[in-house]
Amino acid sequence: MKLKIINSTSHWVMPRIVMGILVVLLVIIGIQRLIHCRKTGTPFIQLKNYRFFRPGWDKVKLLGGILTFVAYIYLMEFLTFLPASIISIFIFNVLFDNERTKKSMITSGVISVGFSVFIWLIFGVLFRITLP
């Protein structure tokens, strides 16, 4: 069997595969939830006294995460992929780390540089995908 590859539409295949996998996983999660609800006698969807955020939720982490993500998109245009990723990952690590010690800052810096360079090497060098 020979597979015919059309370069102009070959990039459409992977998103369909990923969506198919996500739908299958969603069905599995729904079945597990249904089984759990039947065993415990609880309703499948419980809207009475429902709250999206738990009491005492951390507003700084949520809003800081959203602002960091939006800033990352704009930084990508000016600084390119690698420096923008290093800065954004560092800010995310510091934002979500409960400690503000010298050791945790150094660890966040090492993680942000290491992960960004790793992703850049994998996609930019190995797979030859153009990164912003």
Residue 86 phi/psi, 5° resolution? Answer: -60, -45
Residues 71 and 37 in one domain: no
**pLDDT on residue 8:** 67
pLDDT band at 1 (very low <50, low <70, confident <90, very high): low
Q: Is 5 part of any domain? A: no
Q: Is 42 part of any domain? A: yes
Domain count, the chain: 2
Residues 38 and 74 in one domain: no
Q: Is 2 part of any domain? A: no
**pLDDT digits 0-9 by tens, 37-87:** 999 998 888 888 878 888 888 999 999 999 999 999 999 999 999 999 999
Judge contact between 93 and 111, C-beta under 8 A.
yes
**pLDDT digits 0-9 by tens, 15-50:** 888 999 999 999 999 999 999 999 999 888 888 887
**pLDDT digits 0-9 by tens, 95-126:** 999 888 999 999 999 999 999 999 999 988 88
Q: Is 132 part of any domain? A: no
Between the CA of residue 73 and those of 63, 109, 118, what are the distances in Å? 16, 20, 20
Residues 71 and 40 in one domain: no
**pLDDT on residue 127:** 81
Percent of the chain with pLDDT over 90: 64
Domain that holds residue 36: 13-50
Q: Which residues neighbour 82 within 8 Å (Cβ) at sequence distance 6 or greater?
A: 116, 117, 120, 131
Residues 43 and 63 in one domain: no
**pLDDT on residue 44:** 87
**Distance, CA of 112 to CA of 119 (rounded, Å):** 11
Residues 75 and 32 in one domain: no
Q: Which residues neighbour 81 within 8 Å (Cβ) at sequence distance 6 or greater?
A: 116, 120, 124, 131, 132
Residues 43 and 78 in one domain: no
